[in-house]
Structure formats: structure tokens, C-alpha cells
Amino acid sequence: MTSIDTSSRTGDALIDELTDWLEENWDPDLTVGEWWERLGMAGWAAPMLPEDSYGKGVTRGDALRIGSTIHRFGALGAPTGMAVSMASPTIVTHGTREQIDRLIPPAVTGKVSYCQLFSEPGAGSDLAGLSCKGEQDGEEWRINGQKVWTSGGQYADVGMLLARTDPHAPKHRGITWFVIDMDQPGVDLRPLREMTGNAMFNEVFLTDAIVPDENRIGAVNDGWAAANTTLLHERSGMGARSGGGGEARMVIAGGVANNLDKRAGDFAPTPRSTAAAAAAEKDKKQAPTSAATVGSSPAKLYIELARELGKSGEPAVRQRLAQAHILGTISRFTTERHKAVRATGGDIPGVANFSKLLMADIVRLNRDLGMQLLGARGMLHSYGGSDELPGGPRAVAVTSQALNAQALPIYGGTDQIQRNLVGERALGLPKEPGDMSKMPFSELPKNT
Ligand SMILES: Cc1cc2nc3c(=O)[nH]c(=O)nc-3n(C[C@H](O)[C@H](O)[C@H](O)COP(=O)(O)OP(=O)(O)OC[C@H]3O[C@@H](n4cnc5c(N)ncnc54)[C@H](O)[C@@H]3O)c2cc1C
């Protein structure tokens, strides 16, 4: 797997190497495309990928430090999105050498952006029940079906596609994983407007869309294994990328978004001196977790808002603020604990599922706390992000978070599915009765 630490250099040595590399290579007058080409081909854009596959073979912790070092240096961060975080680790794990060398460079250099064509109107939690058809026709595959919830499809050059390629096999054994070109007549993408005011999702209709066989990742009908790699990286949240760029302006990767010819320096964060950047990264590593964690409260936004609105003395508000701080702190400690165990080659069964459940509780608590603080003002939202409504930017942040709170408990596996996984995989409880996983897909009962 790509997350195995194969690097000969870790920790401070790696940060020193990166700082030297940035001194030599960062130039704000490069275009975004030119800068990402340098960063990606040097292995700094997707450092968790193996060294022979355009990465550095580093751990997740080191990948995060690489991301924040680039940010503190004042350079534009690596391309973000599914190309780096989900598609690349899947292709590296299940693809051939030829596919790795053809498909990974455009992904890690931000030239190509991916979307995820997995969910369908009748297959979300039960993803293996998908029915979008893939039929082989010589060296090509013909795809027919419908996908939904396709985040960022409007900016995607290509998609990670799951299609049913053998309806007579049991449902998990007749699926194949493809890379499909989104810019073709057989792909019809329609945006779906959400209550947040954004249209991040799309529905995608595939009518005789074509995928060349060379873009099939893994064996025919063995796509479930590849899909699980993609989902693992989706759930772990960071995949193979180098981590966030803090306050840097987000630059959407890929040809469709049309950012590659813009000046890289226009999107870069404010630089710090390079020596200060390297020293800060090292200090961060040496600081004990507790000190780093206690310093700033996870509930900071809400504490500040409560003070601003004169509500920080209300017992009911104080209780919820304390709860938000406690849950946020537990979440951080859980992540630290898991990281420490993984660094020694171990694992804690079910912790990824617990962490996601905890995050879902946190976003719901924050939503309710925000509404409690804003009162009647919470019923209004500044859809353009403008501050024409009372309450200023903090109120806008609170109503945005409240509207977005419904997303996390659903994507990457709903709360109920996380609990099923904990029950079956971590606690060893029996599966649901009536398991039909061995029955041919074509004979499964269907809604009519
Ligand atoms: C913000 C966001 C972004 C997304 N982006 C993408 C994307 O880019 N690409 C993509 O392919 N998909 C994407 N999805 C889709 C997402 O993966 C699905 O919404 C999710 O898997 C749930 O599927 P569903 O919506 O079909 O709900 P369903 O599976 O129909 O579930 C409906 C309800 O029934 C419950 N339920 C279902 N089965 C069980 C069970 N066995 N036991 C107990 N309860 C059960 C669920 O928990 C849920 O409450 C996104 C979703 C969101 C919210």
C-alpha cells in the first residue's frame, strides 16, 4: 500500500531537504502549471506515494509537515482534490507500471482533475449494488447508466468510474474501476443546487460513453478491491497529499478550471523567512501534544461569538461551549493516538469509523450552538457571503457551518453505516440476516 513509509529520509532531515528545494525552486512569477510541474515531479505534491511512483514514501504525519512547510515558506501549496488524494493512491496500488507512468504525473502536477463517479440513485450506502453498465467492445468499454452526488464534476477532466461489468456474478465480484474522460458526447453533467446556495454536486448521465481498455485499473470484475482503496483514502481524509495550505487561496486544479496559466505568486500565502519556517516546523514536532492541543480551543469561533453577543455568561451556552471544546479535544487526542499507534506499525480497529462519528457529533453540536447564539438572526443566511446582514463575518461563518452540517454525517459512509462497520469489523458482531452477497447481481430483488 502507498501509505507504507518507504522513505530513507524522515522528520527534520526531510524538512531540511524540502526547505533547500524550495529556496532553489519557488518563484512567484512562474505560472501555477509550471510551479505544480516542479513540485509534483519532485515528489512533494503527493509525498505519501512511493518514491518510485512520484512520491517520497513518507508517513501521513510527515506529509502534513511537508504541506505546512510549503505554506510557511510562502509558496503556493500542492494541487488538492481527488486526483491526488484518492485517484493516485488507487492507481498506484492497483494499476500497471505503464498506467502509473501515464496517469500519475498529470494528477500530481495538477494538470488533470478527477471526480468520483461511484454513487447512483439506487446505490449509495449499498455501493456494491450499483447498476451502471460497462460492456466491452474490442479495445473499448461502452458505459451506460446514471451517477449522482458527483462533487466537483463541473471542474473534472476525468472521473473515477465504477461500472457493472458482469451482472451474473455476485454483486461485489462483477464491478470494474475505470478512468473515464469527462469531455465526450456520452457524458451529460447536470448541476444540483443545494440548500447551502452552492451547486457542488452534479448528476451525471452516461449514454454510450467510451473508456479505452488501457484506462481499466485492476482486473476486469475486480473493481471492488480498487474501490475499497479509493474509499479508504476518502475516509482517511488526506489520502496521499501533502496537507492543507492554511490560509492560502484555494486554486482548483485541472484543465477545466483554467487556473494553470495564472501567476503562482498571486495565490501564495504571505511568506515567512525560510529559517523561521523551518524552525517553526521543527518546534511543532518537538512540542508535546498536550501543550499543542490545549493552546487553542476547538470551539474558538463559538467562544468568541458568545463573548461578542454578550452571551458567554449564560449557563446553557457555557455548558454547550464546554461540550464543544471537550469533543473537539477528544477528537484531536484520538487522531494523535491513532497516528502514534500507526507509526509503530499497529492499528486500532474501528478508530477511523469512531473518528468520523465523533466529527459528525461535533458538526451537529456546533450547528445547534451557533443557532442558539444567533437566535432569530440564525434563520437568515448571506448567500453571496456578503455582510449585508447583521452579525458580521462570524455570523456568516456560523450559518454556513450550520447549512453544511448535514454533509459530513452522510459522505464517505453515513453514521449508520459507520456503526454497522464498527459492529461487524471491530466488535465481531454477526452480519445482518439475509445476507445476499453470494447471489448473482441479476437475481437480487430490486425496487420496481
Ligand atoms: C457532501 C457529499 C459529497 C458527496 N460526494 C460524492 C462524490 O463525489 N461521488 C460519489 O460517488 N458520491 C458522493 N456522495 C454520496 C455519498 O457517498 C452517499 O450519499 C452516501 O454513501 C449515502 O448514500 P445515499 O445518499 O444513497 O443514502 P442511502 O444509502 O439511500 O441511505 C439512506 C438512509 O438509510 C440508511 N441506511 C442505508 N443502508 C443502511 C444499513 N445497511 N443499515 C443502517 N442504515 C442504513 C443510511 O444511513 C441513510 O440514513 C457525496 C455525499 C455527500 C453528502
- CATH number at 131 reads 2.40.110.10
pTM more than 0.95? no
Centroid of ligand 1 to alpha carbon of 413 (angstroms): 6
420 CB within 6 A, ligand 1: yes
Centroid of ligand 1 to alpha carbon of 125 (angstroms): 5
Do 168 and 188 lie in one domain? The reply is yes
User: Is residue 143 domain-resident?
Assistant: yes
Domain that holds residue 30: 11-80+241-267
Centroid of ligand 1 to alpha carbon of 127 (angstroms): 9
Do 166 and 200 lie in one domain? The reply is yes
Of residues 410, 408, 416, 444, the one with CA closest to residue 432: 416
Residue 174 neighbours by CB under 8 Å, 6+ apart: 164, 165, 166, 167, 168, 221, 441
Averages of pLDDT over each 10 residues, the chain, 448 residues: 48 91 97 98 96 93 90 95 96 98 98 98 94 97 98 96 97 97 97 90 97 98 96 66 49 94 92 56 47 60 91 95 94 86 84 89 95 92 73 84 93 91 92 81 82
Do 228 and 257 lie in one domain? The reply is no
- Specify the ligand 1 atom closest to the Cα of 119: 11
How many alpha carbons fall within 13 Å on the CB side of residue 300?
Answer: 6
Distance CA(236)–CA(220), nearest Å, equals 27
Do 221 and 259 lie in one domain? The reply is no
Q: Tell me what pLDDT residue 354 has.
A: 87
Distance CA(248)–CA(267), nearest Å, equals 7
3-state secondary structure of 58: coil
User: Is residue 121 domain-resident?
Assistant: yes
Asked whether 82 and 222 are in contact (CB, 8 A), the reply is: no
Q: Tell me what pLDDT residue 344 has.
A: 83
Place of cell 446553557: 316
Q: Tell me the three cell numbers of residue 305.
A: 461569538
- Specify the ligand 1 atom closest to the Cα of 122: 26
DSSP 432: P
Centroid of ligand 1 to alpha carbon of 15 (angstroms): 39
User: Is residue 103 domain-resident?
Assistant: no
Q: Tell me what pLDDT residue 179 has.
A: 98
Do 222 and 256 lie in one domain? The reply is no
